[in-house]
């Protein structure tokens, strides 16, 4: 295990969720039978669609392997949701850890908090238990972890993004992307094939998603046929389909950026922000600013309300954050770019590669990119 983090940190017991670890050998039909029917009933009298049902039956045609894998990801995210909301979150689990191995190895990663590590552990054990994953590449690990030679999928993940907010109970999120294992690399040594499988270009994504841990826990996902969001019903433990076929408005009235960095921005980005907030852009309304400093939360709001969410400096990661979220925004009719290029077309060359990230409504993104010079090159390393 080539991780800088120790597997086996004591986990809080999961309160109510039935672990799916025995499901890996079961068929989709058997899982459906083992899954209790949803209690929630829409006003039409029709039972609501759960994520499990949607993935299994919803016409997405993803195949049994992906159904199983999703079941395990769903379970992991429910555990993380319980953890971030627990009293332990406000104590030692929220404190940053020193990162001796990563620092010593010249790692490009930020110092994790125990909650980052525990979330990573939860995702890892769920992926392993699914029996469907060949390799997991996590923002919390220095190198990808080879799990199983015959796992059909590769999972990339940021297990708990925005954890710098955790002591203040501000929203956080899990981000993941799923690729097929590249069978043509099977003959290579494990370390090599683990890395190359994890560096697939975003256009090869089979599915992606995020889970927002906020006032509601939202599981938003796409299999390449639209973007759909499910809300956790805490009384039943089911994710209920609440936002089928999410479409981002072609134009919003909100920009989302850490504008304390204004004086480190390039001219083009300053001009763009100055223009839209004065209502002098292509859309003649004064824009508002919203910035939570938690990527999943800022992205989720942008998907629903439109506008543009950005981090113009080299900070967010192509593999774990930019690619999965760009896949989702494109599937919702929007755009993901580094300010110049389509994110999904950028070939990753490093696992923890960082880049400027702009995600949002089609018209807002086109207008922003027309300013050309929007990537922040001055990146002094801010303390908060
Ligand atoms: O400091 P900045 O540039 O505002 O960056 C904030 C961004 O960093 C993140 O916290 C991600 O960084 P971490 O992975 O270190 O938590 C995002 O959630 C947030 O959007």
Residue 126's CATH number: 3.30.540.10
- Beta carbon of 161 within 6 Å of any ligand 1 atom: yes
pTM: 0.88
d(CA 323, CA 353): 11
**Residue 43: inside a domain:** yes
**Residue 259: inside a domain:** yes
- Beta carbon of 202 within 6 Å of any ligand 1 atom: no
322 and 235, same structural domain? no
**Residue percentage of the chain with pLDDT more than 70:** 81
The confidence band for 33, taking pLDDT boundaries of 50, 70 and 90, is: very low
pLDDT at 26 over 90: no
Domain count, the chain: 2
Find the mean pLDDT for residues 225-241. Answer: 96
Q: Which atom of ligand 1 is nearest to the CA of 261?
A: 3
315 and 225, same structural domain? no
**Residue 171: inside a domain:** yes
- Beta carbon of 162 within 6 Å of any ligand 1 atom: yes
**Residue 337: inside a domain:** yes
Report, in this order, helix, strand and coil percent for the chain, each rounded to 5.
35, 20, 40
The long-range contacts involving 26-29, CB below 8 angstroms and separated by at least 24 positions, are 26/68, 27/64, 28/56, 28/64, 28/67, 28/68
Q: Which of 215, 243, 271 is the last residue of a domain?
A: 243
Residue 269 burial class via C-beta count within 10 angstroms: exposed 0-12, middle 13-18, buried 19 and up: buried
pLDDT at 168 over 70: yes
Q: What mean pLDDT is reported for the chain?
A: 87
- CATH number of the domain that 261 lies in? 3.40.190.80
What is the model's pLDDT at position 165? 83
302 and 206, same structural domain? no
Is 179 in contact with 200 (CB distance < 8 Å)?
A: yes
Q: Which token pair is 167?
A: 């002591």
pLDDT at 101 over 90: no
- C-alpha to C-alpha distances, 166 to 94, 259, 294, 298, nearest whole angstrom: 6, 21, 10, 15
| Cα 295 to averaged position of ligand 1 atoms, centre (Å) | 7
How far apart are the two ends of the chain, measured CA to CA in Å? 31
328 and 295, same structural domain? yes
Using DSSP, state whether 343 is helix, strand or coil: helix
Residue 185 burial class via C-beta count within 10 angstroms: exposed 0-12, middle 13-18, buried 19 and up: middle
ipTM: 0.95
80 and 192, same structural domain? yes
What is the model's pLDDT at position 294? 98
pLDDT at 25 over 60: no
Query: Of 316, 376, 383, which is best to mutate to test ligand 1, by the most ligand atoms within 8 angstroms of its C-beta?
Result: 316
181 and 158, same structural domain? yes
| Cα 166 to averaged position of ligand 1 atoms, centre (Å) | 12
321 and 174, same structural domain? no
What is the model's pLDDT at position 47? 67
| Cα 359 to averaged position of ligand 1 atoms, centre (Å) | 15
**Residue 13: inside a domain:** no
183 and 101, same structural domain? yes
292 and 234, same structural domain? no
**Residue 349: inside a domain:** yes
**pLDDT tens digits, one per residue of 238-286:** 999 999 999 999 999 999 999 999 999 999 999 999 999 999 999 999 9
Q: Which residues of 53-91 are buried (b: 16+ CB within 10 A; e: fewer)?
A: bbbbebebebeebbbbbbbbbbbbbbbbbbbbeeeebee
What is the model's pLDDT at position 381? 86
**pLDDT tens digits, one per residue of 148-164:** 999 999 999 999 999 88
Q: Which residue is closest in CA terms to ligand 1's atom 15?
A: 110
Q: Which of 209, 243, 277 is the last residue of a domain?
A: 243
190 and 279, same structural domain? no
pLDDT at 2 over 60: no
What is the model's pLDDT at position 308? 98
**Residue 15: inside a domain:** no
What is the model's pLDDT at position 261? 97
Find the mean pLDDT for residues 338-360. Answer: 98
Q: Which of 191, 219, 243 is the last residue of a domain?
A: 243
**Residue 384: inside a domain:** no
pLDDT at 91 over 80: no
d(CA 358, CA 369): 9
d(CA 20, CA 67): 12
93 and 219, same structural domain? yes
- Beta carbon of 163 within 6 Å of any ligand 1 atom: yes
- Beta carbon of 53 within 6 Å of any ligand 1 atom: no
- Beta carbon of 258 within 6 Å of any ligand 1 atom: yes
Task: Give residues with Cβ within 8 angstroms of 187, minimum separation 6.
Answer: none
220 and 80, same structural domain? yes
pLDDT at 8 over 50: no
Find the mean pLDDT for residues 221-246. Answer: 96
Q: Answer with the residue of higher pLDDT: 25 or 167.
A: 167
Weakest mean pLDDT among 91-100, 231-240, 265-274: 91-100
Which domain, by its residues, includes 148? 21-243
């Amino acid at each position: 295990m080539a991780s800088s983090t120790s597997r086996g940190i004591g986990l809080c017991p999961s309160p109510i969720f039935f672990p799916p670890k025995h499901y890996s050998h079961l068929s989709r039909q058997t899982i459906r039978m083992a899954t209790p029917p949803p209690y929630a009933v829409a006003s039409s009298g029709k039972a609501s669609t759960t994520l499990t049902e949607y993935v299994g039956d919803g016409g997405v045609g993803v195949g049994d392997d992906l159904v199983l894998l999703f079941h395990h990801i769903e379970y992991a995210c429910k555990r993380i949701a319980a953890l971030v909301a627990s009293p332990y979150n406000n104590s030692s689990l929220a404190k940053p850890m020193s990162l001796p191995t990563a620092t010593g190895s010249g790692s490009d990663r930020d110092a994790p908090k125990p909650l980052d590590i525990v979330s990573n552990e939860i995702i890892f054990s769920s992926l392993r238990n699914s029996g469907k994953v060949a390799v997991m590449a996590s923002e919390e690990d220095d190198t990808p972890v080879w799990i199983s030679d015959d796992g059909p999928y590769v999972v990339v993940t940021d297990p708990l993004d925005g954890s710098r907010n955790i002591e203040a109970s501000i929203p956080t999120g899990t981000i993941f992307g799923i690729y097929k294992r590249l069978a043509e690399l099977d003959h290579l040594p494990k370390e090599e094939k683990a890395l190359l499988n994890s560096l697939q270009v975003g256009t090869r994504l089979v599915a992606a998603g995020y889970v927002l841990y906020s006032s509601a826990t939202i599981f938003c996902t796409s299999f390449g046929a639209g973007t759909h969001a499910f809300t956790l019903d805490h009384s039943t433990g089911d994710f209920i389909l609440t936002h089928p076929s999410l479409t981002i408005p072609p134009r919003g009235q909100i920009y989302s950026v850490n504008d304390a960095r204004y004086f480190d921005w390039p001219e083009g980005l300053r001009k763009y922000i100055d223009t839209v907030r004065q209502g002098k852009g292509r859309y003649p309304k004064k824009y508002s600013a919203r910035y939570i400093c938690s990527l999943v939360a800022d992205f989720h709001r942008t998907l629903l309300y439109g506008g543009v969410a950005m981090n113009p400096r080299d900070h967010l990661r192509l593999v774990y954050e930019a690619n999965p979220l760009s896949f989702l925004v494109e599937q919702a009719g929007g755009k993901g770019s580094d300010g110049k290029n389509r994110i999904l077309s950028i070939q990753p060359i490093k696992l923890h590669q960082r880049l400027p990230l702009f995600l949002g409504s089609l018209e807002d993104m086109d207008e922003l990119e027309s300013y050309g010079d929007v990537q922040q090159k001055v990146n002094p390393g801010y303390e908060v």
